[in-house]
Amino acid sequence: MIETGFIGLGIMGSRMAANLIDAGHKLTVYNRSPEPARALEKAGAKRAGTPAEAARGRQVVVTVLSDPAAVRALALGPDGLLEGMDEGALWVDCSTVDPACSMELAALATAHGVRFIDAPVAGSKIPAEKGQLLFLVGGETDDLLEAAPLFEVMGKATVHAGPVGAGSALKLCNNLLLGAAMLGFAEALAAGDAFGLDPEVVLDALSGSPAAAPVLALKTGKIRNGDWSPEFPLKHMHKDLHLLMETAYEAGLPLPLAAALKERFGDARAAGFGNEDFCAVMKVARPGPSHRNIC
């Protein structure tokens, strides 16, 4: 079993770490707010007081953090994970960041004598809980193979996308599709409402349509019940679309659909729905009294 440091115990990380503990891996965990770490301590993990402590003496360190700023904050400095990592250890970053950030982190890791792969995941709360995530990996093949026993516990499959940064790039492409599917669904439901259709008929018909992405069927119950509890927070979708647009700009690529998606999810975030599930974009698809008819 792999001696592992695990940093970041939010919606995804807490479930990923729990699966590793259940599989017998020895984890030392750290989270900025202590409650999730305490819960995993009761399950058998060792709780660290700093990222450096979580990383010290560990063969592999996994990070699952919200954005580039959070990764940099916990990686750098006297108490950062790089300060604690042993020379030759492997840092596996499962955060969703932009490719430029992953390459920057890899360079910082190399300067500390540490290896690095970016390994963001496709999937949300329930797949994380069930160990059914898809790992999108950028980095050296040998490093991926070293982390593979962890990926096999936490996920259903791994894609080696290419060198460092490729996993992060592929994750942004994935979330472009995800955001487009959800906003398209929201607008289709709003159109049905405006056209006077029975919202239950529209919801069932569209979620089961050949044109519907599989994720939409998983969200139907939440939409019907007005359950906006986060499985994948809307603010993170907005952040990912922002990172996508920045990366596309650097590549000289216009992405007009992605730009429109970013603004619409931004509208929902500005309206106060950022901490709700990303399907809460429904609330801005048809605002006003008739909103109740599509939720």
pLDDT one-digit tens code per residue, 110-124: 999 999 999 999 999
**What is the tens place of the pLDDT at every residue in 152-184?**
999 999 999 999 999 999 999 999 999 999 999
**What is the tens place of the pLDDT at every residue in 40-89?**
999 999 999 999 999 999 999 999 999 999 999 999 988 999 999 999 99
Assess whether 232 and 102 both reside in one domain. Answer: no
Assess whether 126 and 266 both reside in one domain. Answer: no
CA-only gyration radius of the chain, Å = 20
194: containing domain: 170-294
**What is the tens place of the pLDDT at every residue in 4-26?**
999 999 999 999 999 999 999 99
Cβ atoms of 114 and 94 within 8 Å: the answer is no
Rounded Cα gap, residues 86 and 66, in angstroms: 25
The CATH number of the domain holding residue 279 is 1.10.1040.10
Rounded Cα gap, residues 283 and 293, in angstroms: 11
Assess whether 201 and 273 both reside in one domain. Answer: yes
Q: Domain boundary residue among 134, 163, 192? A: 163
Assess whether 30 and 117 both reside in one domain. Answer: yes
Assess whether 70 and 121 both reside in one domain. Answer: yes
Assess whether 288 and 175 both reside in one domain. Answer: yes
Assess whether 136 and 207 both reside in one domain. Answer: no
The set of catalytic residues is 171
pTM greater than the 0.85 cutoff: yes
Strand partners, 159: 136
Assess whether 213 and 150 both reside in one domain. Answer: no
At 288, the pLDDT band (50, 70, 90 cuts) reads low
* Identity of the amino acid at 100: A
Q: Domain boundary residue among 112, 147, 163? A: 163
Assess whether 15 and 149 both reside in one domain. Answer: yes
Cβ atoms of 22 and 40 within 8 Å: the answer is no
At 292, the pLDDT band (50, 70, 90 cuts) reads very low
Rounded Cα gap, residues 41 and 89, in angstroms: 23
The CATH number of the domain holding residue 159 is 3.40.50.720
Assess whether 131 and 233 both reside in one domain. Answer: no
At 286, the pLDDT band (50, 70, 90 cuts) reads confident
